[in-house]
Amino acid sequence: MVRRWNKTDRVLLAFTLVTFAVYAVILITAFWDLPLDIPPEHQFLLLYAHCIPMFFLELLLCRRANWGWRLLLPVLLLAIPGVWFLATAEWYLLAWFMVGWWCVAPVAGCLLAWIVWGAQQSMRHRKGSDET
């Protein structure tokens, strides 16, 4: 049986899409002109702002999906372009460093979503056990 989308799920989906669109604009504007002259503030947003859409996406997946492979979907979305990048960069150490640095923010977003969801589940479980 498919669960209906409640208001919280729709809000999380909207936040995911909006923050992803904002990050896409940040990414496109960073590499629009050559030679690259990216200010430090833009570099910070470029490297770490994708934590936010990943947080909302993972929180939505935690709420909607059963435990299983679906919770690892964002990690797979990171692994596929990462392996492609490493293969085209001929597996050099600098490429490993760049992929690792680029993946820190989304993984942090996923971990934060798991923590928030776990805290919510434990509070719900504790509230349910107090009523009985």
Q: Compute the mean pLDDT over every residue in the chain, rounded to the nearest whole number.
A: 80
Could you give phi then psi for residue 90, rounded to 5 degrees?
A: 60, 30
With tokens 């942090």, the residue in question is 108
In a domain, 24, yes or no: yes
Q: What's the domain range around 42?
A: 7-131
CA dist 48 and 102 (Å) reads 8
The answer to whether residue 95 is domain-embedded is yes
pTM: 0.72
pLDDT for res 131: 58
Higher pLDDT, 7 or 42: 7
- Overall number of domains in the chain: 1
Asked if the model's pLDDT at residue 37 lies above 60, the reply is yes
Within a domain: 2: no
Q: What are 125's two structure tokens?
A: 């479980």
Residue 51 forms part of a structural domain:
yes
Q: How do residues 91-105 score in pLDDT, each as one tens digit?
A: 677 767 777 777 788
DSSP per position, 12-39:
HHHHHHHHHHHHHHHHHHHTSSSS----
Rg (CA), the chain: 18
Does a structural domain hold residue 1?
Answer: no
Mean pLDDT value across residues 17-23:
92
Question: Is 32 a member of any domain?
Answer: yes
